[in-house]
Amino acid sequence: MADYSEKTLSYLKVHYRELFRVAYAITGNAELAEVALIKALNTALSASEGKASMREVFMRAVADSAFSQHSHLDDDTYPLNFSCFEIAEESDDIGAWLSAQKSEIRRILFLRFGCRLGLSSISRATGISRQEAKNILTQAQANFSRALSDIPFDRAIADHARQEMLRTDVYAPDPGSILRTCEANSRPAEKSRISVSRILRTVIGVLFALVLAVMFWLFAAVTGTKPNSAAATPSPAPIEIFLQ
């Protein structure tokens, strides 16, 4: 296993499911989400520590990677199969309201309150316009207020989105296999860097040898010494000049 810090491994062990759900919600497809997560972890694990928290670093990397994979979404190869808020526990009025909404509305609510995306990012993930996304959220809030007037909409949906992030009854890749894949992906790059370094050293060595050879021939030409006989019958003049 690569030499990741204990802090990083601990974070991934606790939050890998949450990170995957973010990637899944944005890409809309489980396979694309897994690819996005692996790429995001490679980016985040190699990033130098800065002022941003580990959560911010990983979440930003996952979102960026997920959006890059989103373009591959299609009905034949990578169909839209993300779902959320489809199960409500007994006596959970908020969950019941959420599960009664259309799947596209539930996804938009999850993107907004779970992934914390803005309208432009929601538009990019869903393919609808920014204004359409805004209208859907506004209408959802109005419907929620009519059904559950005594409950704050934003807080209620955010709390349920958090619970949705941590669900253990939905698919999420094994964190160990994800890290092993990250390690495997990093090896070719490392070998490539070593090979390039060796090639550069070889080229420099050859060039240095050529320069020495050219200098020798120039020296021989200036002093009138024949290269083939220089070693056998050295001339005093060239030796004297060389010692200077």
Distance CA 221, CA 232 (A): 17
Residues 209 and 107 in one domain: no
Residues 109 and 199 in one domain: no
- Mean pLDDT, residues 140-158: 96
Q: Is the pLDDT of residue 191 over 60?
A: no
Looking at 151, 177, 203, the residue that finishes a domain is 177
Domain that holds residue 226: 192-243
Question: What integer pLDDT is reported at residue 238 of this predicted model?
Answer: 43
Residues 104 and 42 in one domain: yes
Residues 28 and 72 in one domain: yes
Handedness of CA 238, 239, 240, 244 (dihedral sign): positive
Q: Could you tell me if residue 186 is inside a domain?
A: no
Residues 129 and 43 in one domain: yes
Contacts of 156 (CB under 8 A, 6+ apart): 94, 144, 148
Which residue matches tokens 């992934």? 115
Give me 201's structure tokens. Answer: 């050293």
Question: What integer pLDDT is reported at residue 241 of this predicted model?
Answer: 39
- Mean pLDDT, residues 31-47: 84
33 vs 89, more confident: 33
pTM over the 0.75 mark: no
Residues 145 and 215 in one domain: no
Residues 14 and 122 in one domain: yes
Q: Could you tell me if residue 170 is inside a domain?
A: yes
- Mean pLDDT, residues 214-236: 61
Alpha-carbon dihedral 157, 158, 160, 163, rounded to 10 degrees: 170
Residues 160 and 119 in one domain: yes
Distance CA 172, CA 96 (A): 24
Q: Could you tell me if residue 187 is inside a domain?
A: no
Question: What integer pLDDT is reported at residue 195 of this predicted model?
Answer: 53
Distance CA 217, CA 212 (A): 9
pLDDT band at 121 (very low <50, low <70, confident <90, very high): very high
Question: What integer pLDDT is reported at residue 30 of this predicted model?
Answer: 93
Residues 76 and 137 in one domain: yes
Which residue matches tokens 């020798």? 216
Q: How far is CA 124 from CA 47, 66, 70, 82, in A?
A: 26, 11, 9, 16
Looking at 148, 177, 206, the residue that finishes a domain is 177
The HSE-up count of residue 170 (CA atoms within 13 Å, CB side) is: 19
Distance CA 159, CA 149 (A): 17
Q: Could you tell me if residue 12 is inside a domain?
A: yes
Count of domains forming the chain: 2
Query: At residue 26, what is the residue type?
Result: I
Q: Could you tell me if residue 182 is inside a domain?
A: no
Residues 115 and 228 in one domain: no
Residues 210 and 164 in one domain: no
Question: What integer pLDDT is reported at residue 65 of this predicted model?
Answer: 92
Q: Could you tell me if residue 143 is inside a domain?
A: yes
Q: Could you tell me if residue 162 is inside a domain?
A: yes
Q: Could you tell me if residue 185 is inside a domain?
A: no
Q: SS3 of 235, please?
A: coil
Distance from the first to the final alpha carbon of the chain: 59
Distance CA 47, CA 42 (A): 9
Q: How far is CA 134 from CA 112, 141, 190, 199, in A?
A: 10, 11, 46, 56
Looking at 177, 203, 218, the residue that finishes a domain is 177
Give me 142's structure tokens. Answer: 């109005």
Residues 34 and 143 in one domain: yes
